Structure 1
Amino acid sequence: MRTTVFRRMMAEEFGSVRAETLVRDHVFSGLDGRTVEQALDAGVPAKQIWQVVCADFGIPAERR
């Protein structure tokens, strides 16, 4: 998954403002205590990050 697709999916799921806040500020234990931005910078694949976000926020399987 490309980062642009990931960001689009985040915006569709959470709204653009909240998505950007989550990407920048929310720390995920499934990302080793990193934010999405930190995980992306560390080279974690966007698809893996999306899976962590979905698990943490209970996103239904049909939208994953």
Structure 2
Amino acid sequence: MRHSDFQRLVDEVFGSAYGRVLVREQVLPKLGNRTPEDALTAGFEPRDVWHALCDALDVPEPERWGADDHRQAPPSR
């Protein structure tokens, strides 16, 4: 997942305004109590940040991949 994919999903799943607030302010314990923005800046993989954000907000797996029914979860490493 690229940074642009991360931002696109944030916008689709949470809405652009609320999503941007979450990226700046939501503290993610799974990423060392960093915000998504701080985690990405620190070099965390966007995929890991996305999953940590969705986990923290209890987003169900089927809803994590946005509006595109053909979008698939990126392959695990």
The TM-score, its normalising length taken from structure 1, stands at: 0.92
The answer for the alignment partner of 2:4 in structure 1 is: 4
Q: Secondary structure at the match of 2:27?
A: coil
Which stretches of structure 1, 4 residues or longer, exceed 2 Å deviation after superposition?
A: none
Instruction: Calculate percent identity across the aligned residue pairs.
Output: 38
Alpha-carbon deviations, 1:20-63, whole Å to 9, x = none?
Answer: 00101111111101011110010000000011011111111113
What TM-score does the superposition give when structure 2 sets the normalisation length? Answer: 0.78
Tell me which structure has the larger Cα radius of gyration. 2
The CA RMSD over aligned residues, in Å, is: 0.9
* Structure 2: runs of 5+ lacking an equivalent: 65-77
Specify the code of the residue in structure 2 equivalent to 1:18. Y
Match of 1:60 in 2: 60
Higher relative contact order (CA 8 A, sep 6+): 2
